[in-house]
Amino acid sequence: MDNVTITFKESMLHFWLESKLTIDNRFVIIERPKTSFFGLIPMGKEEKSIPLNELSNLETDQSYKMGDIVIGAITIATMGFGVLLPLPWGVKKLDNGLRHSVTYRRHGEKQSISVPFFEKEKIKPLREALYAGMANEIDQTSQHKFL
């Protein structure tokens, strides 16, 4: 399996911060920026390596939470009346209302990679690369192929 690298934004509010996910024939490596001061200033990164043989039960999800979408849209619309303070909160609510995610289990524990709606086209190649890596790992360790 060739290495697959996907970069994506995890939030509408912090659109300048990119996360990176790399899948090779043995590991899934997730790199996320660490931030301070309400997520505004990048201060390093978090890197997590997960062996492919520890992953199971891959799921994708599109969630649309109408309450968050409506509250976020109304809050953003009030910006036109000169009220700038709730703008970040409104963007965050709207972002929470329109999410796409890939969820997997590692040792039975559910973990998720979630992206905003404008990054949804990156979920499909991410899911396909994870499926291919998991299938390759199963094929390499399956005993029925050797009997």
pTM: 0.73
pLDDT in tens, 55-112: 888 888 888 899 888 888 888 887 756 666 677 778 888 888 888 888 888 888 898 8
Residue corresponding to tokens 């969820």:
103
110 assigned to some structural domain: yes
**pLDDT value at residue 83:** 64
pLDDT in tens, 116-143: 888 888 888 888 888 888 888 888 776 6
Helix (H, G, I), strand (E, B) or coil at 112: strand
C-alpha torsion 78→101→38→81, nearest 10? -10
146 assigned to some structural domain: no
Structure tokens at 53: 């043989």
23 assigned to some structural domain: yes
79 assigned to some structural domain: yes
Helix (H, G, I), strand (E, B) or coil at 78: helix
147 assigned to some structural domain: no
Say if CB 9 and CB 17 are below 8 A apart: yes
The CATH number of whichever domain residue 105 belongs to comes to 2.30.29
Residue 106's domain spans which residues?
4-141
Structure tokens at 36: 């301070």
86 assigned to some structural domain: yes
100 assigned to some structural domain: yes
The count of structural domains within the chain is 1
39 assigned to some structural domain: yes
